[in-house]
Amino acid sequence: MEKTDLKKILSIGGEHGLYRYVAQSRNGMIAESLITRQRKSFGPSARVSSLSDISIFTTSSEVTLRKVLEDMAAKLSGGAALSSKAAEKDIKAFFSQVIPEYDADRFYFSHMKKVLDWYNCLQQYATLEFAEEEEDKVEEEAR
């Protein structure tokens, strides 16, 4: 299985699960659900976030979502994480092990649940091995 490029993995407001960017369209973009593999068109007003652009606040700085996902995979030996429906105390305890210095004032419980859902979605429908940014730059230079 090829490595996951977090720049092409999208979280879209109002949509369940994660999407993979497919192409630009006349009125926005086309993305494919990782779960159902169905393609859908999204207009320019869609709230789209690339997972590569997301960071988690810590008490000293920010940690990229990629680093958090890699740390979660290492802690869980690549297995599934807690469900986002697990008890709040269990989820917070898990994140305090993965990101001991997370900023409780800016990394909310709702964010933790999203990260768990994203991790489990990637673990089940893609791969937790991520494409290196250098590999991406080399590909762009070759074009």
Q: 95-125 pLDDT, tens per residue?
A: 999 999 999 999 999 999 999 999 999 999 9
Q: Are 72 and 114 in contact (CB under 8 A)?
A: no
Predicted confidence at residue 104, as pLDDT, reads: 93
Q: What is the mean pLDDT of the chain?
A: 92
Predicted confidence at residue 24, as pLDDT, reads: 95
Own/partner pairs, 104-110, CB within 8 angstroms, 24+ separation:
106/57, 107/56, 107/57, 107/58
Instruction: Give the largest CA-CA distance in the chain.
Output: 49
The count of C-alpha atoms lying within 13 angstroms of the C-alpha of 136, restricted to the half-sphere facing its C-beta, is 11
Does the residue 75 lie in any domain?
yes
| β-pair partners for 56 | 63
Tens digits of pLDDT across the chain (143 residues): 789 999 999 999 999 999 999 999 999 999 999 999 999 999 999 999 999 999 999 999 999 999 999 999 999 999 999 999 999 999 999 999 999 999 999 999 999 999 999 999 999 999 999 998 654 444 445 44
Question: Model pTM?
Answer: 0.89
Number of domains in the chain: 1
Q: What angle do CA 123, 71, 105 make, to 5 degrees?
A: 105
Predicted confidence at residue 137, as pLDDT, reads: 47
Where residue 101 sits, what CATH number does that domain have?
1.10.10.1650
Does the residue 34 lie in any domain?
no
Full domain range(s) for residue 105:
54-125
Predicted confidence at residue 134, as pLDDT, reads: 56
Does the residue 16 lie in any domain?
no
Rounded Cα distance, 61 and 73, in Å: 22
Does the residue 105 lie in any domain?
yes
